[in-house]
Amino acid sequence: MRVSQIYAPTLREVPAEAELVSHQYMLRAGLMRRAASGVYSYLPLGVRVLQKIMNIIREELNRAGGQEILLPIIQPAELWHESGRWNEYGEEMFRLTDRHQREFCLGPTHEEIVTALVRADVRSYKQLPLMLYQIQNKYRDEIRPRFGVIRSREFIMKDLYSFDRDEEGLDKSYQAMYDAYSRIFSRCGLDTRPVEADTGAIGGDNSHEFMVLGDAGEDLIVYCQDCDYAANVERAECAPFEAEEGSWQSLEEIPTPNVTTIEKLVELLEIDASRLIKTMIYLADDKPIAALVSGNNNINEIKLKKVLQCDTLVLADAGTIEAVTGAPVGFAGPVGLEIPIIADYSVSGLVNAVAGANKADTHIANVNINRDYIPTKIADIREAKAGDKCVRCGGTFTSARGTEVGQVFKLGTKYSKALKANFLDENGKEQPIVMGCYGIGVSRTMAAIIEQHHDEDGICWPISVAPFHVIIVPVSYKDEEQRAAAEKLYEELNAAGIEVILDDRNERPGVKFKDADLIGYPYRITIGPKQLQDGNAELFIRSSKTKVVVPLSEIVQHIKSLLNR
Ligand code: ATP
Ligand code: MG
């Protein structure tokens, strides 16, 4: 390929719309362009990178027993009604109606379609296990599309579905995918960390997310400094506290005019936030409940929802809070409350704690569990944070931000039962197929690679996913000798099967170097008058910014050895 011919318009300026480095460089290096909010077109260089990522994915999935299929993007509403997700999916789903008024959606994911496919043709245990995957566009009308292809509304996903006879088979499929994911991301040059993930309604220890750590990440994770426990905070378990020692003192009202926040209360009473009972009133399936957590912690609503086993959970409005507590917002407490109370472990061990008094401008001291209030349930409902004790080993949690590039998930029989995808086992008995699903955000992976591999001049592609391995830059293409040497080397590298691009433009060398650095080709060979006199060229290694002089006659061999060929 020649730079004069390739459609790769680079930009000098940082586009105003792009906040993240990966987004900026994808636009500036001419890898993609925005078509609409959260919708992008990929240009040739971008497509080359995507194809490399997809090929790595294909190789590893095929090796693990996966078979590639291609499912429709347009999916009929009926299947989603069968699974119950047509309504559940909400506004994120792009919906459409055909000329006969039949409803469809643009697939945000493909569990329904693939389960319906398999139920029609799989009859016997002999046809299992199966692992089917596709690489295709997904559509989600994200509330806040941002960061370019990290959170877009149309994006490329690899989704694989496993079909097994039993849990044991599923465990094997899951492990095979977990291992394949580790290899895929490492071959893409990505440093990822698998963390335990929330499994929504399905529950159990059934899912891992592969996270790329970095401050730009939208997810928060905690990991133990002493053991290998790591989890998304949505999911991270918290260890119970030890009960405090001490004798119960009598309840005592404290006037706290206008003190409606933990910070103000801590300041006024000069006590540690951990001694305060924070009382949050929620509507769980429209019925009020109180959730208690210590003042230095926050409620994890995902955990709370699971404990309550409710379908909807929202913070109560001021009117409800006043009706339930008899006080304005900011003075709720557990004493005298006549609604279900869920207490977190962080408050269940407190002796002589401080809480709202359910009375305007008043708090109450020396609150003791089981004397002054009786919780309906004591449970782990708080959000894990840095400094907390690890549930597994008692070590200490650290927190970090991360971007999820992939997720593996044991579905069990959720979809096979709903869609009646059954098979006959060895005894001729009908059983639901046991399923798993496994996604990788292909376009998001591309951006994540740039987040991990760049510097102030541009992208530094890992060789495995670079759009070309080598760029040849003659300092002056007009110069006959330089041109001849560059063309000859170009032919030789091409013939050796090395992916090479030749900058044959009549541009100043500075412009050519800037573009090459921005696009991030791993190796640049500069052909200039001085070195050419001695039959040499300069090899520049993008990632380390190091230069070596190599005889022209040895360059092909040199590059081959750098590429491990
Ligand atoms: P998130 O929590 O980031 O919204 P998710 O858990 O909803 O993602 P999955 O349904 O697990 O996503 O999708 C599988 C993979 O697809 C994710 O791991 C992620 O890499 C990618 N992905 C999901 N949503 C988007 C999006 N809006 N834009 C780009 N990639 C996405
Ligand atoms: Mg996910």
Q: β-pairing, 219-224 with 230-232?
A: antiparallel
Task: Looking at the structure, tell me whether residues 160 and 292 fall in a common domain.
Answer: no
In the structure, ligand 2 is a single-atom ion and the residues with CB under 5 Å from it are: 407
pLDDT of residue 203: 58
Task: Looking at the structure, tell me whether residues 445 and 490 fall in a common domain.
Answer: no
What is the distance between the alpha carbons of residues 281 and 301, in angstroms, rounded to a whole number? 12
Encoded tokens for 82 = 């069968």
Give the residue from 390, 418, 450 where a domain finishes. Answer: 450
Overall number of domains in the chain: 3
3-class secondary structure, 453: coil
Query: Over the chain (565 residues), what is each successive 10-residue block's mean pLDDT?
Result: 96 90 97 96 98 98 98 97 92 96 97 97 96 97 94 98 97 97 97 90 77 91 92 90 88 93 92 95 97 96 94 95 95 96 96 95 95 96 94 92 96 95 96 97 97 96 98 96 96 97 96 97 96 94 95 95 88
> Where does 391-522 have alpha helices with state H?
414-418, 442-452, 480-495, 509-519
Could you tell me if the CB of 109 is within 6 A of ligand 1? yes
Could you tell me if the CB of 174 is within 6 A of ligand 1? no
Minimum CA distance residue for ligand 1 atom 4: 151
Task: Looking at the structure, tell me whether residues 183 and 75 fall in a common domain.
Answer: yes
Q: Which helix (H) or strand (E) holds 178?
A: helix 167-187
pLDDT of residue 260: 87
pLDDT of residue 239: 85
Which range of residues forms the domain containing residue 516? 468-563
pLDDT of residue 17: 87
Q: Which helix (H) or strand (E) holds 454?
A: strand 454-455
CATH number at residue 375: 3.90.960.10
Residue 47 CB contacts under 8 Å (≥ 6 apart), including other chains: none
Could you tell me if the CB of 444 is within 6 A of ligand 1? yes
CATH number at residue 504: 3.40.50.800
Could you tell me if the CB of 140 is within 6 A of ligand 1? yes
| Shortest-distance ligand to the CA of residue 109 | 1
Encoded tokens for 489 = 């080397």
In this structure, are residues 465 and 49 in contact, taking their beta carbons and an 8 Å threshold? yes
**Residues written for the chain:** 565
Could you tell me if the CB of 404 is within 6 A of ligand 1? yes
What is the distance between the alpha carbons of residues 268 and 279, in angstroms, rounded to a whole number? 18
pLDDT of residue 201: 61
pLDDT of residue 300: 96
In this structure, are residues 482 and 475 in contact, taking their beta carbons and an 8 Å threshold? yes
CATH number at residue 439: 3.30.930.10
Residue at 455 is within a domain: no
Identify the sign of the CA torsion 56, 61, 62, 64: positive
| Shortest-distance ligand to the CA of residue 406 | 1
Could you tell me if the CB of 187 is within 6 A of ligand 1? no
> Where does 419-479 have alpha helices with state H?
442-452
Quote the ligand 1 centre to 441 CA distance (angstroms): 6
Task: Looking at the structure, tell me whether residues 312 and 213 fall in a common domain.
Answer: no
| Shortest-distance ligand to the CA of residue 439 | 1
pLDDT of residue 241: 82
Identify the sign of the CA torsion 10, 15, 21, 27: negative
Please state the pTM of the whole predicted model. 0.90
Task: Looking at the structure, tell me whether residues 217 and 270 fall in a common domain.
Answer: no
Residue at 247 is within a domain: no
Q: Is 297 left (phi over 0), alpha (psi -120 to 50) or beta?
A: beta
pLDDT of residue 441: 98
DSSP calls for 16-44: TT--SHHHHHHHHTTSEEEEETTEEEEPH
What is the distance between the alpha carbons of residues 419 and 114, in angstroms, rounded to a whole number? 10
In this structure, are residues 442 and 53 in contact, taking their beta carbons and an 8 Å threshold? yes
